[in-house]
Amino acid sequence: MIIEPKVRGFICTTAHPDGCMENVKKQIEYTKNKGKKDGSKKVLIIGSSTGYGLAARIAVTYGEGASTLGVMFEKEATERKTASAGWYNTVAFEEFARKDGYYAKSINGDAFSKEVKDKVIKTIKEDLGKVDMVIYSLAAPKRKTEDGTIYNSTLKTTEEVFTNKSLDLRNNTVVEATIPMANEKEIEDTIKVMGGEDWKQWIESLVEADVIERDAITIAYSYIGPELTYPVYYNGTIGMAKKDLYNTSLDITREFKDRGIKAYISVNKAIVTQASSAIPIVPLYMSILYKVMKEKNIHEGAIEQMNRLFRKKLSNDVIVVDKKNRIRLDDYEMREDVQEQVMEYWNKINSQNINDFADVDGYWNDFYNMFGFKFDNVDYTKDIKLV
Ligand code: NAD
């Protein structure tokens, strides 16, 4: 089958195995070029197949020689449908890692379930003994709890209906988008899915099974962003979940003080991922941000961010945090000169001048790359056998 991108709004329903391999390879090469520290870290990554989790997996493997166990929720190919990008990424990563002599295994299933937690514990016991780092990088639309209840996360405001400019992803025009207000249940359900409860359950399960080292570090990812996106992000339903995630980091550190386990939130930069493309208003902000940060030569994608995290902000001897104990990888994004320029472009932008003020091509390039498309050195005319 010749695999072509099938884009529906903010999602692409096909993925290209060779292109996904290229995507992983490029991230490995970037990391290798930065050099490798000696180490024997054993890292569990929950949400390891795309975006920040995949980049973290690559950064710790090729930057520090880590053994990694990944957890993801991805789809295998069928006779008529390609696998999901995260599936192809994981196959490619494991192949590269094993060839290069690194331990890499992955468990495909629902990270919220007890079944997957048990599988992970069994695998750690058999293969690694204990892990010394747990990266929690889930971005999930819903969560099923043990009693069978399903909670859905929503992307709404919590204060008042919010209207602002937005990028219409179907035709690259600037339109107005209105974000409705969430009710109490929607807020609570989003916290249930994207907040810290499951992260804490993971750490509790690992401690109980004695498969996490004393003094282990666990990190989860968050976002703050500029005031411009506060109604939809920081003060929106997702922001409420992120506040809960932050409070959970304090809880975990407190609860496991006697074991020296420390939990951190890393506040990352806005980048194009499957999760972030789905947030209204954010894609327009991101394309403007890309333009500004590229002009200033400080643009970063997931792999640059994750390398900076493990090389500069969270290494064995030094952990750089702000006053609230958070790691700030959004430091370049939030720089005053960057945000001033973004606001200037935001106020000027419209459908006619969009390319003067936003890097829409860069946005789409990252978007297609995520699904393994638009790499120059991949032969997209090749007939691919799906299964
Ligand atoms: P992503 O969509 O690329 O990755 C999500 C990962 O979670 C995938 O590996 C997926 O397989 C996995 N997953 C989803 N549901 C699962 C389930 N039920 N069980 C097991 N695995 C599951 O998203 P991302 O943007 O890399 O987000 C990762 C984290 O980083 C999130 O907490 C997000 O809020 C945060 N973050 C993202 C940005 C951004 O701009 N993208 C910025 C700052 C922080």
State residue 315's pLDDT score. Answer: 85
Q: Which DSSP state fits 274?
A: T
DSSP H/E element including 281: none
Q: Whose CA is nearest to atom 5 of ligand 1?
A: 139
CA–CA gap between residue 158 and residue 231 (Å, rounded): 7
Q: Measuring CA to CA, which residue among 292, 294, 276 is closest to residue 345? A: 292
Q: Which two tokens stand for residue 44?
A: 């569990």
State residue 189's pLDDT score. Answer: 98
State residue 317's pLDDT score. Answer: 75
State residue 163's pLDDT score. Answer: 95
Q: In this structure, how many other beta carbons lie within 10 angstroms of the beta carbon of residue 154?
A: 17
* DSSP secondary structure letters along 215-233: EEEEEEEE----GGGTTTT
What distance in angstroms lies between residue 52's CA and the mean position of ligand 1's atoms?
7
- Ligand 1 atom at minimum distance from 143 CA: 18
377 CB-near residues (< 8 Å, 6+ apart): 22
Q: In this structure, how many other beta carbons lie within 10 angstroms of the beta carbon of residue 13?
A: 12
- Ligand 1 atom at minimum distance from 271 CA: 40
- Ligand 1 atom at minimum distance from 245 CA: 32
What distance in angstroms lies between residue 191's CA and the mean position of ligand 1's atoms?
15
Angle subtended at Cα 240 by Cα 238 and Cα 244, rounded to the nearest 5 degrees:
115
Tokens 């295998």 label which residue? 76
Q: In this structure, how many other beta carbons lie within 10 angstroms of the beta carbon of residue 207?
A: 16
State residue 125's pLDDT score. Answer: 98
State residue 339's pLDDT score. Answer: 98
CA–CA gap between residue 280 and residue 253 (Å, rounded): 34
> Which residues of the chain have a pLDDT value below 50?
none
Q: Each residue of 99-122: pLDDT tens digit?
A: 999 999 999 999 999 999 999 999
| CB distance 140 to 275 below 8 Å | no
Q: Whose CA is nearest to atom 15 of ligand 1?
A: 140
Q: Whose CA is nearest to atom 34 of ligand 1?
A: 222
* Strands, E assignment, 73-188: 104-108, 131-136, 142-144, 150-152, 162-168, 173-179
State residue 248's pLDDT score. Answer: 98
160 burial class (0-12, 13-18, 19+ CB within 10 angstroms)? exposed
State residue 218's pLDDT score. Answer: 98
User: Which residues are catalytically annotated?
Assistant: 233
Within 51-144, where are the H helices?
A: 51-64, 85-99, 114-123
Tokens 């993971």 label which residue? 202
Q: Measuring CA to CA, which residue among 62, 61, 139, 136 is closest to residue 105? A: 61
State residue 365's pLDDT score. Answer: 97
What distance in angstroms lies between residue 275's CA and the mean position of ligand 1's atoms?
6
Q: Which residues line ligand 1 (CB under 6 A)?
A: 47-53, 71-74, 86, 110-112, 137-140, 221-223, 268, 270-271, 273-276
Q: Whose CA is nearest to atom 40 of ligand 1?
A: 270
State residue 382's pLDDT score. Answer: 96
